[in-house]
Amino acid sequence: MAKQMNPENVIKKLKSVSNTQDSIPMLSLWIIHHKAHHKLIVDLWLKVLKNSKASHRLTLLYLCNDVIQNCRRKNAAMYKDAYMDTLPEAVSHLREESIRPNVQRVMKIWAKRGVFDTEYTDQLLAALLTNRAPEKLRNKLLVEYKTTGLISEITQFKQLEDKIEVDEKRLRTTRVDVSSTEAIKKLKDKVGGEKFSREFEESATQLDDFISQFEKYVERRKHLLDVLEKGT
């Protein structure tokens, strides 16, 4: 039975690998050696890639290339399948102009050497040069897409939208215009001043609450649009 892998240790190695003749091959051998944890390692590879600068993303792609091209002869072909599932998502993080030509070169090498089938590499190259997700990733999103989740999102959004509408109407009929100085000029005595102060504070609180709810509404709307895009 394989020993349990420490994710933090893997992340540290992935973050510290450099684009040199020694660093990439050494980490590649380590990764291949720990083939029992291939899924965890490839998942963490993608996680680190997403949160790295462009130059290090390219280094991680070179590492991926080294693993893919050497794993079969070391009885670790499962890495090829794992990366094949992960690369479509990684492509969207490899489009920076400073590294794109190098990324394209790696993918062309895969096509030339038959590392992956032509259709797959063509999809990766097309995704690299456009904003369209590869078919493999789009299919994955469709599988993960849940109609019940969409219904829940729409229901929550509608409830928040209704609340915003009610709060907005209430604000419009508020007894104090918190942005006006004219009302202040009409104050004649202490009682009137205290009443104005109390109503002013209540109106200000209502306005703060409305702004907070409206910010949530905007975020919920963005999230709903994202969910809808994944389902199309």
Asked whether residue 1 is domain-assigned, the answer is: no
**What is the count of structural domains for the chain?**
2
- The span from the CA of 55 to the CA of 178, in Å, is 52
- Six-digit token string for 99: 């590294």
Residue bearing tokens 């895009």:
229
Please tell me whether residues 113 and 193 are part of one structural domain.
no
Instruction: Give CB contacts under 8 A, 24+ apart, made by 188-194.
Output: none
Least confident of 6-10, 115-119, 188-192: 188-192
Q: Is the pLDDT of residue 120 over 60?
A: yes
Q: How high is the pLDDT of residue 229?
A: 63
Q: How high is the pLDDT of residue 185?
A: 59
pTM score: 0.59
Q: Is the pLDDT of residue 145 over 90?
A: no
pLDDT class of 25 with cuts at 50, 70, 90: very high
CA distances (Å), 184 to each of 175, 179, 208, 220, in order?
A: 13, 11, 21, 38
Which of 94, 120, 142 is the last residue before a domain boundary? 142
Q: How high is the pLDDT of residue 147?
A: 54
Least confident of 78-87, 99-108, 201-210: 201-210
Q: How high is the pLDDT of residue 51?
A: 95
- The span from the CA of 53 to the CA of 86, in Å, is 19
Asked whether residue 92 is domain-assigned, the answer is: yes
Asked whether residue 117 is domain-assigned, the answer is: yes
User: Among positive and negative, which fits the CA dihedral 125, 129, 135, 141?
Assistant: positive
Residue 31 · residue 67 · CB < 8 Å: yes
Mean pLDDT of 194-213: 75
pLDDT class of 82 with cuts at 50, 70, 90: very high
Which of 88, 112, 142 is the last residue before a domain boundary? 142
Structural domain boundaries, residue 201? 147-230
Which of 108, 142, 176 is the last residue before a domain boundary? 142
Please tell me whether residues 19 and 123 are part of one structural domain.
yes
Count of beta carbons in the 10 Å neighbourhood of residue 231: 14
Mean pLDDT of 24-44: 96
Q: How high is the pLDDT of residue 4?
A: 86
Mean pLDDT of 103-120: 94
Per-residue pLDDT of 163-200, as tens digits, reads 888 877 777 776 555 455 665 555 555 665 666 667 76
